[in-house]
Chains A and B, each alone.
Chain A
Amino acid sequence: MHNSPAATATHEAHQNPAHLHHFATAQQQKDAASLGMWLFLVTEVMFFGGMFCAYLVYRYWYFGDFGAASKSLAIELGAVNTAVLICSSLTVAMAVRCAQVGKQKAMVVYLLLTIALGLAFLGIKGIEYREKFVQHHVPGQASFHLDEHIPGHPDTPVNQQHAQVYFSLYFAMTGMHALHMIIGVGLFAFLTYQAWKGAYSPEYYTPVENAVLYWHFVDIVWIYLFPLLYLIDRHP
């Protein structure tokens, strides 16, 4: 694949203020930023991958206990949050589209909507976390207790330790996901400000595009977390 981008160096360079000197063309710069972002998402996949590996191992070991612990989660809140994130994915996708077609104001509106949805997700997550504390479902605390039975075995109580492993993973995975959401909301706050100032145009909107890629990735992580954590053995 010989497609050396610098070969196409032309005078179109330097017409964009955001164009950096060491790139031959704006297109080269754009391609570099895009590849860089995708590689960063690869590292994120592997970062969450470590936790998914832990989840897989313990789900295999403690299948019934994971089912029981999963039942204690509020499925409505989880489902609503999934919907909230999907909506935010639509709004960020629309924000990029607005940037592409040069609709500045609409882009700001969509970014603000995204921030609102992100905060809504975090708020709902906060309610769920609070519930865990109230119900003593927080691992590592002496008061930890889960009053559930193994799905399909009404007289078998859940193993408290195995349930703690589940909740350890629950907090680690959703916590790490929430941290990514917080970073994302921060990013979008900055981008909204920039967009409002008019920093982005159909020629240059790379930061928006990359932040949006990141946001979609965070969304995809949740798309997997939701069934893995909330939907084990729900059937009666």
Chain B
Amino acid sequence: MATAVVEPGERETYLNREYGIKSWLLTVDHKRIALLYLAGITFFFFIGGFFALLIRLELLTPAGDLVQADTYNKLFTMHGQVMIFFFLIPAVPAVLGNFLIPIMIGAKDLAFPRINLLSWYLYIIAGALMLYTILAGGVDTGWTFYVPLSTEFLKTNVITAAVAVFISGFSSIFTGLNFIVTIHRMRAPGMTWNRLPLFVWAHYATSIIQVLGTPVVAIAIVLVALERLFHLGIFNPTLGGDPLLFQHLFWFYSHPAVYIMIVPGMGIVSEVVCCFSRKRIFGYQAMAMALLGIAVVGFLVWAHHMFVAGISVYAALIFSLLSYFVAVPSAIKVFNWTSTMYKGSITYQTPMLYAFGFIGLFTIGGLTGLFLAALGIDIHVTDTYFVVAHFHYIMVGGMVMAYMAGMHFWWPKISGRMYPEGWGRLAALIVFIGFNLTFFPQFILGYMGMPRRYWDYSRAPEFQILNVLSTAGATILAVGYLLPMVYFLWSMRYGKPAPDNPWNAAGLEWTIPSPPSTFNFDEQPVVTWEAYNYDEIKGEVPVAQ
């Protein structure tokens, strides 16, 4: 592959340096790998979204009339597995984190570029296996793989789904490992821990969870597969095992996994709020420590998913208490973001609109988490639509909002083109309205007692009206997500060329050209400033046209 394909007069960037399939599939450039991830993640987001739409359509009427019960069970299982393991967990770290962390700390690449590529290949292999599982008839364990249903009773493709999740787990572990080493070892001169952008801190916290938590779910999933294949008795009550042990091992990872999904989003929102308020973050150290606090305390609360599962009363009390501890750093973050806006000079570009959405929806999601941590309430609302609404407020309202904020914020840097601002704002508004219409009714449904994972609720037709609202919201939400997909693709060709720093933002990534060259920096940068030094940046955010 020749390298000299850059036309005379055109600047060489990571995008035009080489062309051809091979130059992408064998790349070790963190920016190109980020784009490879972007392609995979977008693909799986729409697959998972398609399943979600089918679920919502089925629930439009109380009777199970659109699809069969088996099909419905597969739909919600695969919606969960695809969205969690192939979209939510990798999305921000593997796309935006991969692209930005080396640049933000002033490095040429991640510490282990080839392991970074290996992570992507593992992700793709796992994704292919997941697709095979879907095409070969699907799997209906629920994304949680609860035993003994998954080990002894179901006839579907449990093993391939389990292997897919296992492999995607290792992709996630290697990404996290790479980030930790990079942040420790590759910082530019002068880039002290106290000068790191919060985006980097957030990924550092996330990586800790990935490295410590993921192996435990990996072994739990391996044991499920072994038990299914060889009828071991580790989780099987008729052979002396305890099914709750699986739940413990599963949630030891899968609760912290929620923070793998949301914490990088918190990093994005910190960057965006500062930039569009033209302000330093309020309480930098508290924000950084809150991220680490969430990562660590997040490991102490897992059994709050098991309050009615038959665990000991005393364990339930401990886990409920600890669950409230993890709410404190989250509260600090929300208040500090809000305070960052105080006396700022605020503009309402698309990323900021998404950040507003994030703060509001994450607040609601977080506060309803307090309902679930309250033991007495949890008895009633766990395993109902209340839980479904709660975690969608965190994951879709929180994480996806932040992801969209980040995509719009850094799209000029990634692609070298501006997205159309007007369309961007419209899409943000549609997403916000669609989201709330979809998921707010589900809180009420949950308190009314509608259990989750129900295909047919004809015994309780009183649930219908709220389900109709929810389905209506889901279609609006779908439009809101398709729109950016269209105009991002459009902008790659027709968008205005982006300046190096379209937002007049602080941070090393805005000091280099858009799109960056392959090694990011022509010469080793030396950092002499604090993060978010908006007092030293002269201009305001350029007004959109």
Q: Which residues of A approach B to under 8 Å, CB–CB?
A: 1-2, 4-7, 9, 20-24, 28, 31-32, 35-36, 39-40, 42-51, 53-54, 57-58, 61-62, 139-140, 159, 161-162, 164-165, 168-169, 171-172, 176
Contact between chains at A40 and B177 (CB < 8 Å): yes
Q: Does B230 contact A (CB under 8 A)?
A: yes
Most buried by A among B106, B177, B242: B177
Residue of A nearest to B111 (CB): A32
Q: Which residues of B approach A to under 8 Å, CB–CB?
A: 106-109, 111-113, 115, 173, 177-178, 180-182, 184-193, 211-216, 218-220, 222-223, 226, 230-234, 239-242, 245, 248-249, 252, 519, 524
Q: Which residues of B contact A57 (CB under 8 A)?
A: 242, 245
Which of A40, A45, A164 makes the CB contact (< 8 A) with B239?
Answer: A164
Q: Which residues of A contact B111 (CB under 8 A)?
A: 23, 32, 36
* Known interface pairs A43-B177, A140-B230; A35-B211 also in contact (CB < 8 Å): no
Interface of A, secondary structure class, is helix
**Known contacts A7-B190, A23-B111, A46-B213, then 10 further A-B pairs from the complex at CB < 8 Å, ordered by chain A residue:** A6-B188, A7-B189, A20-B113, A31-B185, A32-B111, A32-B186, A43-B177, A45-B215, A140-B231, A162-B240
Smallest CB–CB gap between A8 and chain B, Å? 9
Contact between chains at B181 and A50 (CB < 8 Å): no
Q: Roughly how many angstroms separate A31 CA and B181 CA in the complex, as a whole number?
A: 9
Contact between chains at B524 and A54 (CB < 8 Å): no
Q: Which residues of A contact B182 (CB under 8 A)?
A: 32
Q: Roughly how many angstroms separate A95 CA and B165 CA in the complex, as a whole number?
A: 37
Contact between chains at A28 and B185 (CB < 8 Å): yes
Q: Which residues of B contact A49 (CB under 8 A)?
A: 215-216, 219
* Known interface pairs A2-B193, A50-B216; A22-B107 also in contact (CB < 8 Å): yes
Q: Roughly how many angstroms separate A57 CA and B111 CA in the complex, as a whole number?
A: 39
Q: Which residues of A contact B181 (CB under 8 A)?
A: 32, 35-36, 39
Most buried by B among A61, A165, A176: A165
Contact between chains at A139 and B232 (CB < 8 Å): yes
Most buried by B among A21, A45, A50, A51: A50
Q: Which residues of B contact A172 (CB under 8 A)?
A: 223, 226, 232, 234
Q: Roughly how many angstroms separate A28 CA and B524 CA in the complex, as a whole number?
A: 15
Q: Roughly how many angstroms separate A61 CA and B239 CA in the complex, as a whole number?
A: 14
Contact between chains at B233 and A50 (CB < 8 Å): no
Contact between chains at B184 and A165 (CB < 8 Å): no
Smallest CB–CB gap between B120 and chain A, Å? 17
Q: Roughly how many angstroms separate A197 CA and B108 CA in the complex, as a whole number?
A: 31
Q: Roughly how many angstroms separate A36 CA and B231 CA in the complex, as a whole number?
A: 37
Q: Roughly how many angstroms separate A9 CA and B115 CA in the complex, as a whole number?
A: 24
Contact between chains at A139 and B187 (CB < 8 Å): no
Q: Which residues of B contact A1 (CB under 8 A)?
A: 193
Q: Roughly how many angstroms separate A176 CA and B166 CA in the complex, as a whole number?
A: 15
* Known interface pairs A5-B185, A22-B108, A35-B185; A54-B214 also in contact (CB < 8 Å): no
Contact between chains at A39 and B226 (CB < 8 Å): no
Contact between chains at B177 and A39 (CB < 8 Å): yes
Residue of A nearest to B178 (CB): A36
Q: Which residues of B contact A48 (CB under 8 A)?
A: 219
Most buried by A among B185, B188, B220: B185
Contact between chains at B234 and A53 (CB < 8 Å): no
Contact between chains at B187 and A4 (CB < 8 Å): yes
Q: Roughly how many angstroms separate A233 CA and B192 CA in the complex, as a whole number?
A: 54
Residue of A nearest to B185 (CB): A32
Q: Which residues of A contact B220 (CB under 8 A)?
A: 50
Contact between chains at B234 and A54 (CB < 8 Å): yes
Residue of A nearest to B194 (CB): A2
* Known interface pairs A36-B177, A36-B181, A165-B241; A50-B219 also in contact (CB < 8 Å): yes
Contact between chains at B107 and A161 (CB < 8 Å): no
